Structures are given as C-alpha cells and as structure tokens.
C-alpha cells in the first residue's frame, strides 16, 4: 500500500470513528424534521401526559429544535467540512482519531445543556401516579433490553455484539471483507462483559432518577437533574465509568484497523456517505423563529 493510500485510510478512519454511531444519511433529514413527534411519542411510551404537560413539552421541544437547527447544525457542518478537508490532505493519524471523537462529544454537550430546562419542567410536574407509571415502564423496558442483549451464553453475546458492529460498519464501508470481519470478531472477544456493564449502568442511572423524583418538590431537584443529564457517567456506577473510557480507546483501535484493511471501493463508499451527510446538514440549517430569537436575546 503506497503512502498516499495509507494517509487517506487514516483520514477516513477519523471520519468513520466520529460518525459511526449516526443514523444512515438517507434518513437524516426525515428523522430531524419529525424529531418533535418522535420525542413526544418516546416520552409517552413511559408516561401518560396530561394536556398541559403535552403543551409545555411541545413548546420546549419547538424551542430546542429551533435553537439546534440554527445554532448547532452549522457547527456540525463546519466540523464535517474540516474532516473532509483533512481527508483530501491525508494528514490525520491515530492521535487525530481520538481528537475528533472528543470534538464530536463536545458537540453533544450544548445539546444536553439545552435539553435540561425542558426535562426539569416535565419531571417536576409529574404526579405520584405518573412517577409510578414511569418506574413500571422503565423496569419493563430494562427487562426487554436484557432479554434482547443478554440471551444465551457468553459466546452468543459476543457473536451478537460482533454482528451489530458489522452492520454499523457496513453502513459506511459497504460489504466487509474477511479480514475486516476477523478484526471485528477479535474486538468483540476482547469486550467481554461490556454489554452487561452498559445495561447495569443504565439501570443504575434510572434508579438514581427515580430516587430524585421522590424529592421533585425540593429546591435542589433542578441541580440533581442537571447533573444526571449533563454528566453521562452520573449515577451509572464506577464499573460503567471505567469501561466507557476503555471503550473509547478500543473503538479508536477498531476503526483504525478496519480502515487499514479496507480497499479502494470501500473508501469511495465512505466518501459518498460522508458527502450525503454533509448535504443533509447543509439542507437542514435554518434560522430561528422570531419568538425563539427574542427569548434567546
């Protein structure tokens, strides 16, 4: 493999590492435009809302969506443009993969901050009956996830994790070659216990939230919810915090290996997918409504 090809592979690794978890480009615009409906439907899977609660939630979502569309999407577009420029120059290496992952995570922080007031509005308005309903539905959802992801012995769980990772990789690279499939299988073998720790951390976080809801009328409730939302590790436990840091390093290595084992047509496929995503970001960029703009001043 010549040096220019290696450089392009490293750059593509950066791109894949940072967007691997994003949904397929073809659905980005549709998903974004109907995000408000989706959020309400998702909330109502857990809580039966009153009419005033639904009105307030819709208002909070509309403000969030206008802010995100006008303020954050241009930032995503600029981030993607920088990555595309690096792809053309062939500069990034393994250290840059980590750097760009950190940049992507930093793009999520303002979103979490902006979500917080609406979440506090909704959670502080819940009745005792709604809190019980939430606890019941969260427990049921947790059981369903555990049945889905923890069915079978350790080998079966490892195989399922590898299959999910292959599907995500193929979304960006196209069909994987045997070497890439072996890379993913080896990675999955080394992530033993990861799914269990993720689910345990999720359960711990939900328990922390439900405990906080018992004191939702107290003055420090907003601070508690703010911490839970804005600190991803809050309430999930030490095992989760340690594993998530390890997983970031392991994912960097996985992406680098996958791209080093790729062929030209896969890199072309990746480039096209990135271009589509960039086009979606550009098409979705908008200006806030006058009402939202005036509230933000």
The full set of domain ranges for the chain reads 3-296
Q: Encode pLDDT of 235-274 as tens digits.
A: 888 888 778 778 888 888 888 888 788 888 887 787 787 7
pLDDT > 70 in the chain, percent: 77
Cβ neighbourhood burial of 239 (10 Å; 0-12, 13-18, 19+): middle
Q: For residue range 32-63, list pLDDT tens digits in order.
A: 555 565 567 678 888 999 999 999 988 988 88
What's the mean pLDDT when you consider all of the chain?
Answer: 78
pLDDT of residue 260: 80
- CB of 24 within 8 A of CB of 31? no
Crossing angle, helix 73-89 and helix 3-19, to 10 degrees? Answer: 160
Between residues 246 and 16, the one the model is more confident about: 246
Q: What is the spatial distance between Cα 36 and Cα 202, in angstroms, rounded to a whole number? A: 24
- Predicted confidence (pLDDT) at residue 84 exceeds the cutoff of 90: no
What is the per-residue pLDDT for 2? 40
pLDDT at 14: 37
- The string of pLDDT tens digits covering residues 112-149 is 888 889 889 999 999 999 999 999 999 999 999 999 88
Residue 205 has pLDDT above 50, yes or no: yes
pTM over 0.85: no
Q: Note the pLDDT tens digit of each residue in 162-201.
A: 999 999 899 888 999 999 999 999 999 988 888 888 899 9
CA distances from 162 to 76, 165, 182, 190, 274 (A): 29, 5, 10, 11, 24
Spacing of C-alpha 141 from chain mean position: 19
Look at residue 89 in the predicted model and tell me its pLDDT. Answer: 61
């Amino acid at each position: 493999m010549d040096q220019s090809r290696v450089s392009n592979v490293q750059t593509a690794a950066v791109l894949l590492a940072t967007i691997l978890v994003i949904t397929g480009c073809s659905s980005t615009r549709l998903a974004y435009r109907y995000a408000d409906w989706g959020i309400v439907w998702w909330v109502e899977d857990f809580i039966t809302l009153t009419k005033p609660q639904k009105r307030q939630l819709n208002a909070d979502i509309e403000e969030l969506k206008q802010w995100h569309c006008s303020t954050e999407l241009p930032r995503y577009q600029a981030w993607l443009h920088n990555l595309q420029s690096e792809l053309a120059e062939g500069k990034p290496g393994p250290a840059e993969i980590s750097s760009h992952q950190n940049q992507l995570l930093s793009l999520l922080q303002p979103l979490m901050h902006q979500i917080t007031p609406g979440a506090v509005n909704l959670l502080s308005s819940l009745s005792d009956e709604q809190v019980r309903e939430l606890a019941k539905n969260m427990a049921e959802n947790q059981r369903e996830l555990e049945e889905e992801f923890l069915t079978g012995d350790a080998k079966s769980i490892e195989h399922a994790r590898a299959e999910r990772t292959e599907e995500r990789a193929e979304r960006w690279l196209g069909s994987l070659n045997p070497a890439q499939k072996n890379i993913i299988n080896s990675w999955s073998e080394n992530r033993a216990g990861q799914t269990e720790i993720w689910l345990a951390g999720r359960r711990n976080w939900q328990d922390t939230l439900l405990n906080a809801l018992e004191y939702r009328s107290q003055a420090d409730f907003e601070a508690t919810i703010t911490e839970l939302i804005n600190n991803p590790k809050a309430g999930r436990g030490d095992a989760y915090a340690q594993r998530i840091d390890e997983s970031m390093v392991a994912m960097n290595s996985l992406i680098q290996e996958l791209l080093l084992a790729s062929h030209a047509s896969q890199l072309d496929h990746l480039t096209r997918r990135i271009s589509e995503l960039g086009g979606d970001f550009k098409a979705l960029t908008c200006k806030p409504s006058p009402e939202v703009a005036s509230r933000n001043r």
